[in-house]
Structure 1
Amino acid sequence: MPNVLVHTADESVTLSAQAVRRLLERGDGDAALLYLALLRHHGTVAPRSLAGELRWERSRIEAAEETLRALGLIAPAAESVPEPADERPEYQRGDIAQRLESSGEFRGLVSEVERRLGKKLTTPDVGVLLGLTDYLGLPADVVYLLVCHCDERVRRRYGEGRRPTLRQIEKEGYAWARMGIDTQKAAAEYLKKYTERQGALPKYMQALRLGDRLPVASEEKYLTAWQEMGFPPETVALAYDKTVLKCHELKWPYCNGILKRWHEAGLHTVEEVEKGDRPAPKREQAEKPGSDELRKYVRDLHRDRG
Structure 2
Amino acid sequence: MASVLIHAADESVTLTARAVQGLLERGDGDAALLYLALLRRHGAVAPRALAGELRWDRGRIEAAEQTLRELGLVAPAAESVPEPADERPEYPREDIVRHLDGDGEFRGLVAEVERKLGKKLTTPDLGVLLGLSDYLGLPADVIYLLVCHCAERVARRYGEGRRPTLRQIEREGYAWARRGIDTQAEAAEYLRRYALRQEALPGYMRALQLGDRAPSASEEKYLSAWQEMGFEPEAVAIAYDKTVLRCHEFKWPYCNGILKKWHEAGLHTAQEIREKDHPPRSREETPAASGGDEMWKYVQQLRRDREVTDHGV
| TM-score (structure 2 length as normaliser) | 0.87
Counterpart mapping for 1:63-78 below 5 A:
63-78=63-78
- Distance in structure 2 (CA, Å) of the matches to 1:284 and 1:6: 88
Aligned position for 1:183: 183
Aligned position for 2:297: none
Q: Which AA in structure 2 matches 1:257? A: G
Question: Residue by residue, what CA displacement relative to the aligned partner does 1:256-301 show, whole Å, maximum 9, x if unpaired?
Answer: 11111211221112221111123365475899989x99xx9xxxxx
Counterpart mapping for 1:154-193 below 5 A:
154-193=154-193
- Distance in structure 1 (CA, Å) of the matches to 2:196 and 2:224: 11
Question: Residue by residue, what CA displacement relative to the aligned partner does 1:5-38 show, whole Å, maximum 9, x if unpaired?
Answer: 2223311101122322332333332222111111
Q: Which AA in structure 1 matches 2:223? A: L
Aligned position for 2:124: 124
- Distance in structure 1 (CA, Å) of the matches to 2:2 and 2:280: 92
User: What is the DSSP-based 3-state SS (H/G/I as helix, E as strand, rest coil) of the residue aligned with 2:52?
Assistant: helix
- Distance in structure 1 (CA, Å) of the matches to 2:304 and 2:245: 31
Deviation at 1:217, TM superposition (A): 0.7
Deviation at 1:89, TM superposition (A): 1.3
Deviation at 1:226, TM superposition (A): 0.9
- Distance in structure 2 (CA, Å) of the matches to 1:279 and 1:75: 46
Aligned position for 1:303: none
User: What is the DSSP-based 3-state SS (H/G/I as helix, E as strand, rest coil) of the residue aligned with 2:72?
Assistant: coil
Aligned position for 1:33: 33
Counterpart mapping for 1:273-292 below 5 A:
273-279=273-279, 282=282, 284=284
Structure 1, unmatched stretches of 5+, are 297-306
Deviation at 1:219, TM superposition (A): 0.6
Aligned position for 1:272: 272
Q: Within the alignment, does 1:198 sit opposite 2:198 as a pair?
A: yes
Q: Which AA in structure 2 matches 1:159? A: G
User: What is the DSSP-based 3-state SS (H/G/I as helix, E as strand, rest coil) of the residue aligned with 1:30?
Assistant: helix
Judging changes above 3 Å, is the alpha-carbon distance between structure 1 residues 6 and 268 closer, same or farther for their aligned structure 2 residues? same
Identical columns (%): 76
Aligned position for 2:223: 223
- Distance in structure 2 (CA, Å) of the matches to 1:78 and 1:242: 37
Q: Within the alignment, does 1:207 sit opposite 2:203 as a pair?
A: no
Deviation at 1:201, TM superposition (A): 0.1
Counterpart mapping for 1:110-149 below 5 A:
110-149=110-149
- Distance in structure 1 (CA, Å) of the matches to 2:279 and 2:66: 54
User: What is the DSSP-based 3-state SS (H/G/I as helix, E as strand, rest coil) of the residue aligned with 1:73?
Assistant: coil
Question: Residue by residue, what CA displacement relative to the aligned partner does 1:24-60 show, whole Å, maximum 9, x if unpaired?
Answer: 3333322221111111112222111111111222232
Aligned position for 2:96: 96
Question: Residue by residue, what CA displacement relative to the aligned partner does 1:208-251 show, whole Å, maximum 9, x if unpaired?
Answer: 11111100011111111111111110111111111112222111
- Distance in structure 2 (CA, Å) of the matches to 1:101 and 1:126: 13
Structure 2, unmatched stretches of 5+, are 287-299
Judging changes above 3 Å, is the alpha-carbon distance between structure 1 residues 119 and 283 closer, same or farther for their aligned structure 2 residues? closer
- Distance in structure 1 (CA, Å) of the matches to 2:148 and 2:176: 14
Deviation at 1:151, TM superposition (A): 0.5
Aligned position for 2:107: 107
- Distance in structure 1 (CA, Å) of the matches to 2:74 and 2:200: 47
Greater mean deviation of Cα atoms: 164-173 or 56-65: 56-65
Aligned position for 2:248: 248
Q: Which AA in structure 2 matches 1:244? A: V
Question: Residue by residue, what CA displacement relative to the aligned partner does 1:79-127 show, whole Å, maximum 9, x if unpaired?
Answer: 1111111112111111100011111010011011011111111111011
- Distance in structure 2 (CA, Å) of the matches to 1:132 and 1:146: 10
Aligned position for 2:13: 13
Greater mean deviation of Cα atoms: 95-104 or 50-59: 50-59
Aligned position for 1:304: none
User: What is the DSSP-based 3-state SS (H/G/I as helix, E as strand, rest coil) of the residue aligned with 1:261?
Assistant: helix
Q: Which AA in structure 1 matches 2:220? A: E
User: What is the DSSP-based 3-state SS (H/G/I as helix, E as strand, rest coil) of the residue aligned with 1:62?
Assistant: helix
- Distance in structure 1 (CA, Å) of the matches to 2:10 and 2:225: 53
Greater mean deviation of Cα atoms: 196-205 or 250-259: 250-259
